[in-house]
Structure 1
Amino acid sequence: MEAVSRTGETRASREDRLLVASRRGGHPGTVLLTLDGELDHDTAAPLRKALEESTGAARVVVDCAGLRFCDSTGLNVLLRTRLRLLTEGGRVDLAGLRQPVRRIFEITGALNVFRVYDDADAALADTGTGR
């Protein structure tokens, strides 16, 4: 969606700064969410919606390879979903974390509560050995 400024210039809306694509993963009950852009307070809604729609999935893999920024709001969305899925017997895994996004997970300790894979292919080929 584009917004028009007072000067007549068009610009992307805030939510358009994050694109979320969803598809089934390689195994039954697995959903792959691919993120592209910036995840923050203004852009978290598409991710929240996609995660809510994955209710019932045994596993959600979030491919962060295209994620250029993540603030505490984005981190909290992922952590809350992780807790929800744990109570339902599922899990959230992360793939493709790059700097500086990886750094927020490191300094908050959140990196230790997710299985993290080098890329989405490695996550989808999971043998239960994620780091």
Structure 2
Amino acid sequence: MRQESASPTRHLRVRHHRGHTVLEFRGEIDIASAAEIAPYLDRETGRPGARVVLDLDGIEFFDCSGLRLLYRARSQVLDGGGQVRLVCTHAMTLRMLRITGLARLLPPWPTLDEALGVSRPAGRRTGR
């Protein structure tokens, strides 16, 4: 069930879907936008038992500042005993995730439904 969403910044939309908080990153994720996103990311990922999906489908550009946000979110969610998933199909971002090893820590899924285990076609996950 989808609930209303909020856009605390033009680079982040927060919504709830199937019991998960979905953080949709948008546009260019660089040092400036990462500074805008970080407080909202911390609020959502710092909750005990948080169930979070980081959705990168709306990005146009993603640099090392974005990678730091993903790692930070993963660490906070796991430290709080929660679950975190990543949705990403952006070719350059997938390459960065693989090169840095973050894809092993936070395996990317091609769709939100697949990340949540709603539907799984016979194919494999992206990034593996």
Q: After TM superposition, is the score higher than 0.5?
A: yes
Choose from 1, 20, 23 the match for 2:15: 23
Amino acid of the structure 2 residue aligned with 1:77? L
Choose from 24, 29, 36 the match for 1:39: 29
Aligned residues: 112
| CA separation of 1:109 and 1:43: change in aligned 2, threshold 3 A | same
Taking only aligned residues, the RMSD between alpha carbons, in angstroms, comes to 2.3
Q: What percentage of aligned pairs have identical amino acids?
A: 31
Secondary structure in 2 matching 1:49: helix
Question: What TM-score, normalized by structure 1, do the two folds share?
Answer: 0.73
Structure 2 gaps of 5+ residues are 1-8, 120-124
Counterpart Cα distance in 1 of 2:74 and 2:117 = 20
Contact 1:19 1:37 in 2 (8 A): yes
Q: Who is 1:52 aligned against?
A: 42
Question: What TM-score, normalized by structure 2, do the two folds share?
Answer: 0.75
Give 4+ residue runs of structure 1 displaced > 4 Å after superposition.
Answer: none
Return the offset for 1:95: 0.5
Structure 1 gaps of 5+ residues are 1-15
Return the offset for 1:98: 1.1
Choose from 94, 101, 111 the match for 2:103: 111
Amino acid of the structure 2 residue aligned with 1:50? Y
Contact 1:68 1:100 in 2 (8 A): no
Secondary structure in 1 matching 2:11: strand
Q: Who is 1:89 aligned against?
A: 81
Amino acid of the structure 1 residue aligned with 2:112? A
Return the offset for 1:65: 0.9
Q: Who is 2:5 aligned against?
A: none
Counterpart Cα distance in 1 of 2:82 and 2:33 = 25
